[in-house]
């Protein structure tokens, strides 16, 4: 049996530095998540608690049928909590990306995938449940249009919104699966911590 001492082992390899692409993904993930997901989630969570103030504000603006039903308040609260949790996971994943940690890549992929799924579910809820429940308010705001045209306006605006919301998670997933970026995280297993 051979005893190895510290002097017999080769020196550890220096820690690999992340490429500019990985740094950009990490920084953008952190900043984008703070401004869009955390802030948006906080607004969504706060909406049910300020529904009476929002209703008074709407009445001052001449919108008399503004009301947030208890079901929509619950949905807003649930949506906000989910968005905050997923945004926080993307921030943590972004920190892991900056450190070139495999768990950061895996967490970013998982959080981005979950965010895409949730945004699509929320889109369906908005189109089929939220907008129809707001029919009276829509008629006041968009009274010059027929009911069908009002719904088309709302759906088209929501489609643009969902494309904007889905852009970063989709780009993140695509970039994290690029060979040049993926290989940087695969070498982490071979290098010391």
pLDDT per position as a tens digit, 54-82: 777 777 877 666 667 788 888 889 999 99
Helix (H) or strand (E) segment spanning residue 56: helix 51-60
pTM, two decimal places: 0.78
Q: Is the pLDDT of residue 15 over 80?
A: no
Digit-coded pLDDT (tens) for 151-188: 777 778 888 988 988 999 999 999 999 999 999 888 65
How far from chain centre, in Å, is Cα 45? 15
Q: For the chain, what is the mean pLDDT?
A: 83
110-138 tens-digit pLDDT: 999 999 999 999 999 888 877 776 666 66
Report the alpha-carbon distance of residue 75 to residue 130 in Å, rounded. Answer: 9
Q: Please return the burial class of 122, using the count of CB atoms within 10 Å of its CB with bins 0-12, 13-18 and 19+.
A: buried
- In whole angstroms, how large is the CA radius of gyration of the chain? 23
Mean pLDDT along residues 140-161: 75
19 secondary structure, DSSP code: P
Map out the domains of the chain as residue ranges: 20-186
Q: Which of 103, 122, 114 is nearest to 173 (CA)?
A: 114
């Amino acid at each position: 049996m051979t005893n190895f001492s510290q002097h017999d082992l080769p020196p550890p390899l220096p820690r690999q530095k992340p490429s500019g692409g990985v740094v950009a993904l990490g920084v953008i993930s952190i900043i984008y998540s703070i401004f869009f997901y955390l802030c948006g989630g906080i607004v969504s969570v706060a909406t049910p608690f300020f529904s009476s103030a929002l209703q008074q504000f709407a009445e001052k603006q001449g919108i008399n049928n503004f009301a947030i039903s208890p079901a929509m308040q619950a949905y807003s609260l649930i949506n906000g909590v989910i968005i905050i949790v997923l945004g926080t996971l993307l921030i943590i994943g972004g920190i892991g990306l900056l450190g070139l940690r495999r768990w950061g890549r895996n967490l970013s992929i998982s959080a981005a995938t979950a965010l895409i799924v949730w945004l699509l579910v929320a889109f369906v809820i908005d189109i089929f449940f939220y907008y129809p429940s707001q029919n009276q308010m829509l008629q006041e705001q968009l009274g010059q249009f027929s009911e069908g045209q009002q719904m088309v306006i709302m759906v088209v605006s929501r489609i643009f919104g969902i494309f904007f919301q889905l852009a970063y998670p989709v780009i993140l997933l695509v970039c994290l699966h690029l060979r040049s970026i993926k290989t940087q995280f695969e070498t982490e297993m071979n290098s010391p911590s």
